[in-house]
Amino acid sequence: MAPRICALCHTSKAMLRRPKTGQQICRDCFFFVFETEVHNTITEAKLFKPGDRVAIGASGGKDSTVLAHVMKTLNERYRYGLDLFLLSIDEGITGYRDDSLETVKRNQQQYDMPLKILSYDELYGWTMDAIVAKIGKKNNCTFCGVFRRQALDRGAAMLNVDHIVTGHNADDIAETVLMNIMRGDISRLGRCTCICTEGEDTIKRSKPFKYAYEKEIVMYAYFKKLDYFSTECIYSPDAYRGHARAFLKDLEAARPSAIIDIIHSGEAWAVKEEVKANQNAQQTCKRCGYMASNELCKACTLLEGLERGIADAGITERGMKKLEAQGPAPDNLRTIPFFRLASHQQNGHPAIEVEAPT
């Protein structure tokens, strides 16, 4: 078979077929179009302004590693004027997160960015290893998800950044759309395709890879020989997401545009005002100051359950009743440090020392 020629430069040998467009392109044109599309996503959504301090949520996995590389490249190429940081959460999973954090530490050197690692242990007093030892492998992903979300915001506040970017890609978002439909979760369905979420008192979060296919992210990492970590979490993976993922990959095999089509479907959804009104209004957790939809935020509820030996308190109604039946929380209960947004701190300086690249 004669080698195919790149559809863009008409000179070099085509090395991959783009899933979004079916175009066959060479390696250099691929780098250029991939980076340019992310740049267009960033500028069309007006994600940043010069001088912004931006933390890249870094797990050491493919998506966040490619994100760090591309953010650095674009910041230099288009002079965004951003101060970039790496922010990693250490869930305390021996044999998984400890290894992936080694990758993040190498990325810190390779990309010359300050790195902050915040651990569940220092924030909540519990590692995931300890949580799983206590509650087993059921519901542990709920703890991890709730704790991670809050830990990222708290890490961002410590770094005094304006903005967190995460490596969520088009496949992830399409999966989430499917999961929210299957669960009938209207409020999440309404917002899960937003490129940027920003509440009044939350740190801005966005997804520059919203339209980037996983296949292209992996190809980019492979062709650029980026250093990333790829091991499945040793605790039971999110089984429900696994089904959505397998289904999505089958759809993609039959019709590659399926992923972007599902995202467009999610974006086209409009949630009626009266449906929105029935959802709990956002409030501030009375114990830790983090945003909450009840008196206590989800993390405080989960933590109290762990501390008082009723681990399903934050998960089932029955668990919550059991906790309430035991009376109010004891005074000496371990709690999460009070949450303060970066903007409420002294301007200009991170609230903590960050590890600078050496």
* Closest CB 144 distance from another protein, rounded Å: 13
The first and second tokens of residue 168, run together, are: 């969520």
DSSP 12: S
Residue 62: which of 23, 107, 17 has the closest Cα? 107
Q: Binding residue per annotation — 265?
A: no
User: Which residues lie below 8 Å from residue 124, measured CB to CB, with a gap of 6+?
Assistant: 147, 299, 303, 336
Name the helix (H) or strand (E) containing 56: strand 53-57
| β pairing state of 115-119 and 83-90 | parallel
Question: Taking the complex as a whole, how short is the minimal distance between the CB of residue 110 and another protein, in angstroms?
Answer: 18
Interface pick for another protein out of 11, 94, 230, 294 (rule CB under 8 A): 230
Task: Tell me if 95 is assigned to a ligand binding site.
Answer: no
Mapped onto helix, strand or coil, the DSSP state of residue 165 is strand
Residues, the chain: 358
Determine the angle formed by the axes of helices 27-44 and 62-77, rounding to 10 degrees.
80
Write the CB contacts of 32 (distance below 8 Å, at least 6 apart in sequence): none
- Binding map of another protein across residues 75-114, x = CB under 8 A, - = no contact: -------------------------x--------------
Q: How far is the CB of 232 from another protein (least distance, A)?
A: 6
| 241, 246, 249, 255 alpha-carbon torsion, rounded to 10° | -110
Q: Which of 69, 163, 245, 298 binds another protein (CB under 8 A)?
A: 245
Under the binding rule (CB under 8 A), the answer on residue 232 touching another protein is yes
Nearer to another protein, 172 or 312 (CB): 172
- Residue from 92, 114, 155, 167 in contact with another protein (CB under 8 A): 167
Select from 140-148, 226-234, 298-306, 328-336 the region that touches another protein (CB under 8 A): 226-234
Residue 16: strand, helix, or coil = strand
Long-range contacts, stretch 8-11, CB < 8 angstroms, 24+ apart? 8/33
Confirm whether residue 314 is marked as ligand binding: no
Minimum distance between the CB of residue 24 and another protein, rounded to whole angstroms?
A: 6
Asked if residue 151 belongs to a known ligand binding site, the reply is: no
162 binds another protein (CB under 8 A): no
CB of 338 to another protein, least distance (A): 30
What angle in degrees, to the nearest 10, is found between the helix axes of 298-307 and 317-325? 60
* Contacting range for another protein; rule: CB under 8 A; set: 41-49, 192-200, 225-233, 310-318: 225-233
Shortest Cβ 273–another protein spacing (Å):
34
With b for 16 or more beta-carbon neighbours within 10 A and e for fewer, the 129-150 pattern comes to: bebbeebeeebbbbbbebbbeb
Stretch near another protein under the rule CB under 8 A, chosen from 107-115, 165-173, 259-267, 310-318:
165-173
CA neighbor of 157 nearest in space, from 123, 121, 108: 123
Binding to another protein in span 12-41, by CB under 8 A: 13-17, 24
C-alpha dihedral sign at 260, 146, 167, 239: negative
Of 133, 246, 333, 352, which lies in the binding site for another protein, with binding defined by CB under 8 A?
246
Specify the residue, 28 or 201, whose C-beta has the smaller distance to another protein. 28
**121 assigned ligand-binding residue:** no
Residues from 48 through 77 that contact another protein (CB under 8 A) = 59, 61-64
Does 22 appear as a known binding residue?
no
What is the spatial distance between Cα 42 and Cα 77, in angstroms, rounded to a whole number? 13
**Per-residue DSSP letter, 330:** P
Residues tagged in the binding site annotation for ATP: 57-59, 63, 89, 167, 172
Residues near another protein (CB under 8 A): 1, 4, 13-17, 24, 59, 61-64, 100, 167-169, 172, 214-215, 217-219, 222-223, 229-233, 245-246, 249-250, 252-253
